[in-house]
Amino acid sequence: MTPQQPGTGPSRWSDLRRPPLNAAALRRALVVPGSLWTSLDVVDVTGSTNSDLGARARSGAPEGAVLVAEEQSAGRGRLDRRWSAPARSGLFFSVLLRPGDAVPVARWGWLPLLVGVATASALARTAGVDTALKWPNDILVTVDGEERKAGGILAERCDGALIVGIGLNVTLGAGELPVPTAGSLELAGAAETDRDPLLRAVLRSIADWYGRWREVGADPGASRLHEAYTAGCATLGRTVRAELPGGESLEGEAVAIDDTGRLVVATGDGLRPVGAGDVVHVRPSGGNGVRRTPSAE
């Protein structure tokens, strides 16, 4: 490393606890014949990997393109929420999927949930932490006995393709968290916080789940996706409040995930499927923390 010259300010690479990703090694491991992944690029900083990969999709980029940023200056989450974190403190990346005619459009809604299952199971296996999913696809971990959000997933349609963005807090300390309800793998006691093996594990898990799902015509039952999501969903069995588009709000017990991936809420007026909106856990689960997401692999 080049010595820091007086007066030049800190180097972007001076934090040895957060080394940069090895793009060449990641490509050698993941962009191989027969793999879903067709390209993998790592950039130092960008506004949003979803926006950048969406532009590539509109220019004809093939399925399997992966774009990773060491830092995002305008990362977006669901409901246009902002996602920010120190450089190299997490994994911030997007993948380009083109389900094609083999997958009915009505089943595209399962893709964000599929990525959630794949990500949560890969992290549980590789980082050695208990993970769970808050509907539809927030990644939860346990920090000091409390349920915390360590990651989120944003899926956006783009000219017949789907761009899926994943943001994961890896080495954020307590003083770096954006909100008190956030967490990180490190704060959850992860045995592995090296971002290279974590990213490889997540991308391989996504490719595996996506391949099996497509092979059976995107059937969530035959692919075991419905079973795996239900088993790992911390929202089920809890009292929730759903803020729906248009300003409507409903409260009740989350009782099931239906065949289209919607959350079914039992209210005083009967069962209500929720396909979009902001869901808040009102009543905590029976135990402390979150339950482990099974790998189902």
pLDDT recorded at residue 73: 82
Within a domain: 100:
yes
Those residues with Cβ within 8 angstroms of residue 16's Cβ, 6 or more apart along the chain or in another chain: none
DSSP-assigned letter for residue 160:
T
More confident residue, 288 or 237: 237
Q: Give per-residue pLDDT as tens, 175-204.
A: 999 898 999 999 999 999 999 999 999 999
Residue 255 binned pLDDT confidence (cut-offs 50, 70, 90): very high
The residue range of the domain holding 271 is 236-281
Is the model's pLDDT at 286 over the cut of 50? yes
Whole-number mean pLDDT of the chain? 90
Is the model's pLDDT at 82 over the cut of 90? no
Residues 262, 137, single domain; the answer is no
pLDDT recorded at residue 169: 97
Q: Of 43-57, 260-274, 277-291, where does mean pLDDT reach its minimum?
A: 277-291
Q: Of 5-19, 39-53, 230-244, where does mean pLDDT reach its minimum?
A: 5-19
CATH of the domain at 253: 2.30.30.100
Q: Give per-residue pLDDT as tens, 210-227.
A: 999 999 999 999 999 999
Residues 243, 144, single domain; the answer is no
Residues 200, 271, single domain; the answer is no
pTM for this model (two decimals): 0.89
pLDDT recorded at residue 116: 98
* Amino acid identity, position 135: W
Residue 102 binned pLDDT confidence (cut-offs 50, 70, 90): confident
Residue 17 binned pLDDT confidence (cut-offs 50, 70, 90): confident
CATH of the domain at 92: 3.30.930.10
Three-class secondary structure of residue 210 per DSSP:
helix
Is the model's pLDDT at 6 over the cut of 50? no
* Domain count for the chain: 2
More confident residue, 38 or 294: 38
Cα within 13 Å of Cα(33), Cβ side: 0
Is the model's pLDDT at 26 over the cut of 60? yes
Closest CA to 133 of 110, 112, 156, 117: 117
Residues 66, 152, single domain; the answer is yes
SS (H, E, C) 103-130: CCHHHCCHHHHHHHHHHHHHHHHHHCCC
pLDDT recorded at residue 284: 65
